[in-house]
Amino acid sequence: PSLRFVAGRPADYAVGSVSERFTESDGVWLVRDQAGIFALLAQCTHLGCRPRWFGDERNSLGVRAS
């Protein structure tokens, strides 16, 4: 994926939210918390596959907790 993309304005992302808007096109989840907005690479470092974000069931890595 490209290292640059236009994500919009900070106001487009509520604090505590995770956006999957750019997961398919740019391979990232955008996460906003009190500290700011972060782009997390949506790619497994083990096999290179794309994990899914599971909302309230997620752990800190964005994958389903067992």
Q: Residue 42 pLDDT > 80, yes or no?
A: yes
* Distance between CA atoms of residues 18 and 53, nearest Å: 9
Digit-coded pLDDT (tens) for 4-38: 889 999 999 999 899 999 988 888 999 999 999 99
What is the structure's pLDDT at 53? 81
What is the spatial distance between Cα 3 and Cα 24, in angstroms, rounded to a whole number? 14
Cα–Cα dist 39/22, whole Å: 10
Distance in angstroms (rounded) separating the CA atoms of residues 27 and 7: 12
User: Is pTM beyond 0.85 here?
Assistant: no
